[in-house]
Amino acid sequence: MAKRNIAKDTARRDKNGLVQTTLCFAASARALAASAGPRPASASWGSSPFFSPPASSSSSASQKSSQESPPAPPVPPALPSEGSGSDTDVDTPPEPGLGARNVGAGLSDYEHIDLTLGGGTGPVDASGGWNASYVRMPCHEKNTVQERPGGPNFSRWEVVKSVLACPLQSFPDVKDAILAYNPTMRSSWDISGLGDYLRNHPWRDSLFSTTIPAIANLALRLPTLLPNPIPLLRAKENKAITLNQLQIACILANAFFCTFPRRNDTRKTAEYASYPSINFSTLFAGTKEGRCDPLKRAKLDCIFHYFTEVARRGQWANPGNVTFHRQRCSSFPTFASSTATFGPVAVCATGTIEDDAPGHLEVDFANRVIGGGVLGRGTVQEEIRFLISPELLASRLFTQRLEDSDAVIMIGAERFSNYNGYAKTFEWGGPHVDHTAQDARGRFNTRIVAIDARPYGPRTAGTQYTPQEMERELRKAYVGFAPSPCVESANGAEDRSPIATGNWGCGAFGGDAQLKALLQFMAAACHRRAITYFAFGNADFADELADIHAELMAKGVTVGELYACLVSIADRAWRDETVFGYVRRSLPRLRPPAIGLPPVSGETAKPQASIA
């Protein structure tokens, strides 16, 4: 296919008029966004810089109901239980003054805790937050340590204060400081990678004279910057936490020096076994030769650039705010009977979610453990997003492993770095100055939703076509795309800004890109949100996706009809047919006439990516 360097409008026309599917190529996605200008808000669909809201489909819906009756939709399959008890059994009643309220889209009762300086305070109980409902803070009086088993207990924070107050002028100084209050880890921790990085860094002198002392000073400000305990965002909760950027920098400074208690135990029975790691010890690990491997070197470049910029800002008089919302649905629609129709989609053959979709809700192709391998060896979409915006790392401190009805929406994280490459070729690409506007709450207008797809291996790839697995993925996208009560549009209405996504759950997770794209379209349609879909350089797939969406929209196919088609895949023999081909052949509205027209193009050809 010839390379395109301009936007190509692939809108298809039929007797019902223009179908709003836009195919964008190269850097033209941002050009379209810049040239489109502001559009009036729609009562039914979120606005997007790529297209106008579609016309009302009520008339076409009435026409199709009189023309033909769709097949009876199957009953949605039951999903495995995530635990005993109902949502009402496990949701903790919100405490007074914490902004609890009911929300729509099947979301559980919502609780927002503002921990920013000058804002509301979190709840304080008799334990001062030293219990299973809160982050166990390094500066808590009950945080004690033994120098040796059976020895006396002494305050761990006092040790932290004494060693971080000393000059840290070399890697041995940093290493000795970290191990002083982690004595049980002396024989098991390997932080030689950090040593190799610091010894060979071209800015070594600057790091030891300015950046590392600034990190230490910031870590020691923890009792002042965060006087109230941080609640955990636990499973089966619909809860949000807001912190300011200086508080987050303090959290990450403590993570750098590995001060968070009870977070080093990797046993399955450990208190935080279902939480991500937060201390940076794994990031500091070296190779067998004691070297810092190239990917971790790139990660440390991002981290040290972030701290260098924080140090440059000094006291940071007016830090912005960042909100972390664990969003949970306690009920879901019956997708099989949904009459929602598909809205506008812009398919971009090139470009990236973080660079080319301003004003969108960005989809983080997440791991169940938020951040994935960001502190290890992972360098794919989620890890890269966390590295160029390190404030997202704070979510690892308090977010329990995601369940099937959960998503995490992160609002306001500043971007500090650019990058080059991907996966094994990832490298730091220099500083990034974030010019994104801030909202009324002092947050950058950057919204990221973490939704974890189900992973499939070579032996389990076929299970993704079962009704139960499709229902799970559809529900996951549905809760992620639901308007968060933490975000409001300019006029105070629910936020229905367009969604920027791509090959969610594909690649290392083994998902079928055609299937996953359709499931995301269905979830977005249920919330009346437009989509900008990035195909990450695969122009052929971009063409195919734009074509199938145009057909779905032109023929007025409903979510329920497509759902019935997709869940029937597991019962059919179609080994050499793609999902798109199966949908075209099976959906009555897309099926070509039996007489007078040739088969739909591509159905008899050997597919590009057949399903195993």
Whether 383 sits among the annotated catalytic residues: the reply is yes
Helix (H, G, I), strand (E, B) or coil at 543: helix
Alpha-helical regions (H) of 168-318: 171-180, 192-200, 204-206, 212-220, 222-225, 245-256, 294-312
Mention every residue, 6+ apart, whose C-beta is less than 8 A from residue 81: none
Q: Residue 517 and residue 375: Cα distance in Å, rounded?
A: 29
- Residue 465 labeled ligand binder: no
Decide: 404 and 87 in contact? Cβ < 8 Å. Answer: no
Annotated active-site residue in 364, 471, 473, 547? 364
Whether 364 sits among the annotated catalytic residues: the reply is yes
Q: Which of 563, 520, 587 is nearest to 75 (CA)?
A: 563
Q: Which of 462, 442, 446 is nearest to 454 (CA)?
A: 462
Sign of the C-alpha dihedral computed for residues 63, 66, 71 and 77 taken in this order:
positive
Sole residue written with tokens 């033909």: 68
Mention every residue, 6+ apart, whose C-beta is less than 8 A from residue 527: 105, 478, 481, 482, 483, 496
The secondary structure of residue 600, as a DSSP letter, is: P
Annotated active-site residue in 309, 382, 439, 471? 382
Question: What is the SS3 assignment for 559-582?
Answer: HHHHHHHHHCHHHCCCCCCCHHHH
Q: Residue 408 and residue 486: Cα distance in Å, rounded?
A: 11
Decide: 196 and 286 in contact? Cβ < 8 Å. Answer: yes
Q: Residue 84 and residue 82: Cα distance in Å, rounded?
A: 7
- Residue 367 labeled ligand binder: yes
- List C-alpha distances in Å: 17 to 13, 174, 542: 5, 67, 22
Decide: 478 and 338 in contact? Cβ < 8 Å. Answer: no
- Residue 381 labeled ligand binder: yes
Sole residue written with tokens 């979610």: 353
Pairing of strands 153-155, 144-146: antiparallel
Annotated active-site residue in 383, 406, 473, 561? 383
Question: From the annotation, which residues make up the binding site?
Answer: 367, 381, 422
Q: Which residues are annotated as a binding site for substrate?
A: 367, 381, 422
- Which residues belong to the active site? 364, 382-383
